[in-house]
Amino acid sequence: MTAATSDPFFHGSAVTLEGRGVLMIGPSGAGKSAMAAELVSRGGLLVGDDRLQMSHEPQGLFAAPRPGFEGQLECRGVGILTVPHTRRARIHLVVDMGREERDRLPPPREILLLGCKLPLLHRAGDGHFAAALMLQLQMLDP
């Protein structure tokens, strides 16, 4: 969200696992919805896909789905799926799906969103990234 727009929504997808949320950001076609589908298939709950309502609160950054699209996940080549979901979640981790990780052991990174500093990962290009994200979420404080 920027001051230059009156759009109250943030472009991204979010999933939560046991009270720990991950926000996927990046350009259209970067794999945000695909990663959300993968995480939900592994036991996560969809917070929202494509457009999210974000809010900075004393406890941290929170995401909610766009009204009327609760539990709706767009899967390219399949269609809109209704998946297990939640109405709101605190975000603990951000993944920039538009940037591929080049380092085998990347340095710690942070991103500032709506005044909240959060750990930031870049998309890893191999088949274990969804599993690694699930493990990373389990390690974070709820």
Judge residue 7's burial from the number of C-beta atoms within 10 Å of its C-beta, 0-12 exposed, 13-18 middle, 19 or more buried: exposed
Distance between CA atoms of residues 12 and 61, nearest Å: 14
What tens digit of pLDDT does each residue of 78-120 get? Answer: 999 999 999 999 999 999 999 999 999 999 999 999 999 999 9
Give the residues across from 2 on adjacent strands: none
| pLDDT-based confidence at residue 77 (cuts at 50, 70, 90) | confident
Q: For residue 4, is pLDDT > 60?
A: no
3-state secondary structure of 132: helix
Structural domains in the chain, sorted by start: 10-137 (3.40.50.300)
How far is Cα 93 from Cα 43, in angstroms, rounded to an integer? 17
The Cα–Cα gap between 29 and 102 comes to 20
Q: What is the pTM of this model?
A: 0.91
Average pLDDT, the chain: 91
Answer positive or negative: Cα dihedral of 114, 116, 121, 127: negative
Q: Enumerate the active-site residues.
A: 11, 32, 50, 104
DSSP string, 55-82: EEETTEEEEEEPTT-TTEEEETTTEEEE
